[in-house]
Structures are given as C-alpha cells and as structure tokens.
Amino acid sequence: MFASPPLLSKQSAGAYVWSSVAVSWEAPLYLQYGEGRPPFADVVLPSLSTSQPYDISLDLVVPATDTNYNLGNFMTTLTLATPSNRTLATIRRPAIVLPPKSVIAFLLSSPTTTALHLSLLQSYTFGTSSVIAKVELGRRDEWRTIGKGEGRELSVLSASVVGTVRHKGIRGLVSRYPLLSAVVASSTFLVIGLAFLFTQIFFLPAVQWKAGGDFEVPDSGVMPPAAEVKQEGGTERRLRKRSSLKGTRTSRGSRDSLGEEIAAGFVKNGAKVYISSRSAKDCQSTADELNALGPGSCVPLPADMQKVSEVERLVDELSKREQALHVLVNNAGTTWGASIDDHPDEAFSKVLTLNLQRVFTLTQRCLPLLRAAAAQGGQDAGHYKDPARIINIGSVEGNTVPDHETYAYSSSKAGLHQLSRHLAGRLGPEGITSNTIACGPFETKMMGFILNALRDVVLERVPLSRIGTPEDVAGTAIYLASRAGAFVTGATITLDGGLVVRMPSISKL
C-alpha cells in the first residue's frame, strides 16, 4: 500500500515544529537567610548546551503582605560560575513588589501571594555544560526607596531560575510563532503528500503497464527465534528454592532504585520475591514487570515503612504466605538536604526513622521467619549449613564525610552500617548473617539530578571511570545470598568503583 507517505509527511511536519518550539528548564532555589545578609541560594543548573543561547529569568512567589509591599525596591543579583568557581557572568536587576490594582482583584478576596517574573539575561551562551547559579535577593544600603523602605529582607515562598532556549533563524521564527508555523508546515507537507499520492495513483500504473510486468515484493526478513538460554550453576538452583522480602521503594515504568535492580536479579535467577512500597499501584506495576522477566516470581505487599503498624501488618501478611524467609533486603530510604542552620528537626527524624529505625523494626519482626529458614537448612557439627541472610543497603556517605549538607542521611547510613555489624554478632549463632552493601554513584532516582548536572565531575572522582550498573548491585546481593556468601557476616562491602579510595594526586591514565 502507498497510503503511508502523506501521513508520514504530516507527522514529520509536526515533529519539526515540536522540536523547534522553545525548550525550557527550571531549577528550584532553596533560599537561606543569614544575619546581616540578604536571602541567598546556590543551585546547580541542568546540563546545558555549550553553544546554545538561553534567556535566563527568575520566578518568585512572595506573600502578599504589607512587609513586602513596604520594602520598596530590592535588588536581584545573579552570578553564574563553573564548578571550579570561575565566574561567567554577574547580573543585577532592581525589582519591587506591588499590590494588585485591577478591579477584578479588588472585588475578589484579597490575594495571599504575588508572582514576580524577573528577566535577567537574553540570548546568553554559557560556553560550558556545568554551571552553578548563585542568587541573592534583598535591599542594599544607600538606596533611594520607592516605598517606605521598612526592613531589608524579602519574604519568599518559592523561587526558581528558569532558562529558555533561544533559537535563531527559521527555528527562532518557529519558536516564537508555533501555531502559525505548524499550520504552514502541515499545509506544505500535505501538498507534497497529495502530489506524491496523485503520482502513485495516475502515473505509476501507466509506467508499470508499459513495462509489461508486475513489481515484485520481496519476502520479509524475519529473524529466527532467539535460542533459549538456561543458566546452569549453583547460584540459580540455590535461589530457586529461596523466598526473599525486599523493603524497597518502587517506581512505575523503570527500575530507578537499587531495590528494584536487586529484585530483578533475584527473579531472573529463579527466586520468589516479595516487594513492598507505599504506593499499591506502583508496587503492583513493578511486580508485573518483574514477573515478566522470570523464571522466578514477584509478589507485591504494599506498606508504609514509616509506621510501625504498617510494618507489623506487612510481616503478618507475609507470615500467612510463607513459613520461612531466606533473604531480607532492607533498602527503603529517603534523604534531605539543607544547610546546617536551616535543617528542619522533623526532617532529621523522618530520615533516621525510615533509614535506620525501621530497618531494626522490620528485621526484629521478621526474626521468626528468618530463624525458620536457617532451621530448614539443617545443622552440621553444631553450625547452620545454610544461614538466613539480612542484606542492608547502605551508602559510602556512611563511610566518609560528604562534601554536601545531608546530615541526616549520612548519619543514618553510618548508623545502619553499625547496626548491621551488631546484628551479625547477635544473630550469627542462630544461623542468620547480616551484611551491608555501601553503594556509591548509581543510576537511581535519588542520584538522577546530580548525575544529569555534574556527571563529568562525578566520573572524575571514580577511579574506575563509570557509574554503577544494575548488574553490579544485583550481583553483589546474589553473592551474599548464595552459597559463596554463607560464611560472610558483619561485612560492609563498598560498591563505589573506588570513590572512597581515590587518590586525587594520581591522574587517570
């Protein structure tokens, strides 16, 4: 059939217009307030094109209060710098918060917030892909004020740096007039498509008739089915008999957490895996994806690990289905970043509760199932031949001092490493091992923003010059759960490509 080219042409027209429309990004700011200094914040911008011009602006949402109105004019300062602290540009723009003057705003209830859009740079080319934006808002001495000039600080609810790609030439016209460009492009391709169709209907049959024969359509080339690969070896046969519970946050559509990668590795090796997540929908979606991998199986048991009652419900539900639990993987976790002066107390408690305390809670509640698994393996000369396994997912931030302000996260992971060792000493005589995998940079949702903005910087600090892969973390967990890891307990396996042992004075070859 010859009906597809016109349709393809119109799709191409839409694709061209869509790709030409201005692309923008937004980097949220978390303002800090210091004594004698206006509100300020630093943010790493998304990965940039080195030669593409951008329009840079600042979007603010401020409370509609008399204090902000009476502040008068304030100055917005934007400094763009590289990660090595080389200044690219510094821009200062005045602004003022004014109350709404429209009749509609007056008739309606008084607004609680006011939005400000401050244009700072136009058609600016960064010349580098990694940029840090430093923003400062507030009044300066010796200013002539428009309002009463009361106070020096601007109260801000939310702030973000916004960048919009500024196309040039035809792409610039398309960017500024997308609807008109779409109509023109679609019409042009429609005319071309109709002309092509007209040629096929009226001209091509005449040529074919004069040629005195039919066109031959070749057979479609279909690849033979891929050969079935069956893994033979102790690991797979060993895991086929094991049940595993994973405390993990799942994500629909992609395996973007370490827990999901570990679960996938176990399922591929024949294990029956239980996964848990706060979202029942996401938990079921991930289980469906893992079940499609086979030959093992995955069962979703959604639960909110922050709550003791939910942990108890999860273990009760598991106990109804299984008489023994061979491998417990504690992976659920969260993080929080804030300056030491602004770190909220409730955030610190939340991080330590999920990352550390609930690991102990879940492990404690699962002890009867773990002990039953150890008993199933039997004893030989007073020792358990096949211990049950506890695998805790830690972090290299628990081994070293991070160079960023994640105080609760690093403390929770350091505590988790010690808790794992303590459990190993206490539970070893009962046939239960406890080990930790201290992970470095991996392609996860938690690391996504940093890797997108500073991937080259991160790779420079990893002696093996790459980011961790799913096979790395899944293989390590399978090792600990297999016969090869039966004599390992109390260990903290650093899985970071050499990040913590890096020698800055030795350049990479």
Q: Is residue 507 part of a domain?
A: no
363 and 248 in a common domain: yes
Q: Is residue 172 part of a domain?
A: no
265 and 159 in a common domain: no
pLDDT above 70: percentage of residues in the chain: 73
**Rounded to an integer, what distance in angstroms lies between the CA atom of residue 84 and that of residue 75?**
26
277 and 132 in a common domain: no
276 and 344 in a common domain: yes
Q: Is residue 216 part of a domain?
A: no
116 and 186 in a common domain: no
206 and 98 in a common domain: no
pLDDT at 105: 52
> Cβ distance 116 to 60 under 8 Å?
yes
Q: Is residue 369 part of a domain?
A: yes
pLDDT at 324: 93
**Rounded to an integer, what distance in angstroms lies between the CA atom of residue 433 and that of residue 427?**
7
Q: What residues are annotated to the active site?
A: 409
pLDDT at 60: 84
382-413: per-residue pLDDT in tens?
Answer: 889 999 999 999 998 888 888 778 888 999 99
For residue 138, what is the domain's CATH number?
Answer: 2.60.120
141 and 284 in a common domain: no
Q: Which pTM does this prediction carry?
A: 0.52
DSSP sequence for 173-197? HHHH-HHHHHHHHHHHHHHHHHHHH
Both tokens assigned to 458:
């991160």
Residues of the chain with pLDDT under 50: 1-11, 13, 16-22, 142-146, 149-150, 204-242, 246-255
pLDDT at 310: 93
For residue 284, what is the domain's CATH number?
Answer: 3.40.50.720
Both tokens assigned to 467:
């980011």
Question: What counts of helices (H) and strands (E) characterise the chain?
Answer: 15, 18
Total domains in the fold of the chain? 3
Q: Is residue 157 part of a domain?
A: yes
Q: Is residue 221 part of a domain?
A: no
**Rounded to an integer, what distance in angstroms lies between the CA atom of residue 68 and that of residue 58?**
17
193 and 101 in a common domain: no
Q: Is residue 225 part of a domain?
A: no
pLDDT at 101: 64
Domain that holds residue 325: 234-501
Q: Is residue 394 part of a domain?
A: yes
**Rounded to an integer, what distance in angstroms lies between the CA atom of residue 412 and that of residue 501?**
22
436 and 403 in a common domain: yes
Biggest alpha carbon distance in the chain?
A: 93
305 and 249 in a common domain: yes
Both tokens assigned to 324:
């023994």
pLDDT at 256: 54
**Rounded to an integer, what distance in angstroms lies between the CA atom of residue 75 and that of residue 90?**
13
Residues 6 or more apart from 310 whose CB is under 8 A from it?
303, 304
420 and 362 in a common domain: yes
